[in-house]
Amino acid sequence: YLGRPDLTASRFVPDPYGTKGARLYRTGDLARFDTGGRIVYEGRADDQIKIRGFRVEPGETEAALLTHPAVTQAVVTVYRDRLAAHLVTDGETEPDDIRRHVAERLPEHLVPTYLTVLERMPLTPNGKVDKRALPEPAPLATGGRAPRTPLEETLLALFRGTLATTAPLTVDDDFFHHGGHSLLGARLTNHIAGALDVRLTVRDVFRHPTPARLAAHIESLKAAPARKARPALRRRTETDRISS
């Protein structure tokens, strides 16, 4: 586990049945033998989950969230097959800023789709976070504006089509606040390539998650000076060989 020596040590343990130096990986699965000697799966011993084919440790996302200077508490759960983060912060900060902070440190599938800021975490009588009492995540209202350019109008339509949502979206609405994730982000970049002949990556969508900001990014790409093309190579002919 990159940057998590404590987690690595707890997961990769000495193999008492193997050769010297061999290791076993603790999967976190709980199982038992039944009376017939068969292994029966009982569930998980930790919070590891599986989302869209990826094994996810919520603790990894929580640790990345806590590296943001404004985040004092973070709890990551699953909501509608996507990661949802509930946060307590010590100052005013935009969810977009926190998401970009996490996206720069973790793979896309570990970046939470939903970010909910709370005044305080709900606690159990034992003083632990009561995950059952956490509020349901919801898309954030932005009070955004209508498109001002044909590019913003096209991108807004592509956002709506990719998200397959009937919610009223504006050019200032965040793709991930409305249910977007890395796989839908890849689909969005394909739609943009087909409609605008612009090649983007999912990372671009994470960094510019609204139609307005993505439009500005695309405009900056178009305005950047094109790299000088290298001369095309051609096969030498027999005449070239003779003359040389």
Q: Does some domain include residue 194?
A: yes
pLDDT: which is higher, 29 or 222: 222
Contact between 109 and 54 under an 8 Å Cβ cutoff? The reply is yes
Q: Are residues 117 and 61 in the same domain?
A: yes
- CA atoms within 13 Å, Cβ hemisphere of 191: 17
Residue carrying the six token digits 């919070």: 47
> pLDDT tens-digit profile of 107-139?
877 888 788 889 999 999 988 889 889 998 865
- Percent of the chain with pLDDT strictly greater than 70: 83
| Contact in structure between 51 and 83 (CB atoms under 8 Å) | yes
User: The domain that contains 216 carries what CATH number?
Assistant: 1.10.1200.10
Residue 34 lies in a domain: no
102, 137, 156, 163 from 40: Cα distances, Å: 37, 35, 49, 39
Report yes or no: 90 and 70 within 8 Å, Cβ to Cβ. yes
Determine, yes or no, domain membership for 112. Answer: yes
Which residues form the domain of 170?
A: 150-223
Question: Which residue bears the tokens 């005044």?
Answer: 119
The answer to the question of residue 159 being in a domain is yes
Residues 125, 62 share a domain:
yes
More confident residue, 195 or 49: 195
Same domain for 53 and 127, yes or no, is: yes
Q: In terms of domains, do 82 and 118 share one?
A: yes
* Residue range 151-186, pLDDT digits in tens: 999 999 999 999 987 667 889 888 887 878 888 999
- pLDDT above 90: residue 104: no
| Residue 36 forms part of a structural domain | no
d(CA 16, CA 24): 9
Residue 31 included in any domain = no
Closest CA to 85 of 70, 105, 69, 102: 102
State how far the Cα of 190 lies from the Cα of 113, in Å rounded to an integer. Answer: 20
**Residue that is last in its domain, among 74, 100, 133:** 133
Domain limit, last residue, from 90, 107, 133: 133
122: CATH: 3.30.300.30
Is the pLDDT at 237 greater than 80? The verdict is no
- What's the token pair of residue 92? 């005013």
- In this structure, are residues 98 and 114 in contact, taking their beta carbons and an 8 Å threshold? no
- Provide the CB-side half-sphere exposure for 200 (13 A, CA): 31
Domain identity same for 160 and 126 = no
Is residue 73 in a domain? yes
Q: Is residue 44 part of a domain?
A: no
Query: What total number of domains does the chain contain?
Result: 2
| Residue 229 confidence (pLDDT) | 46
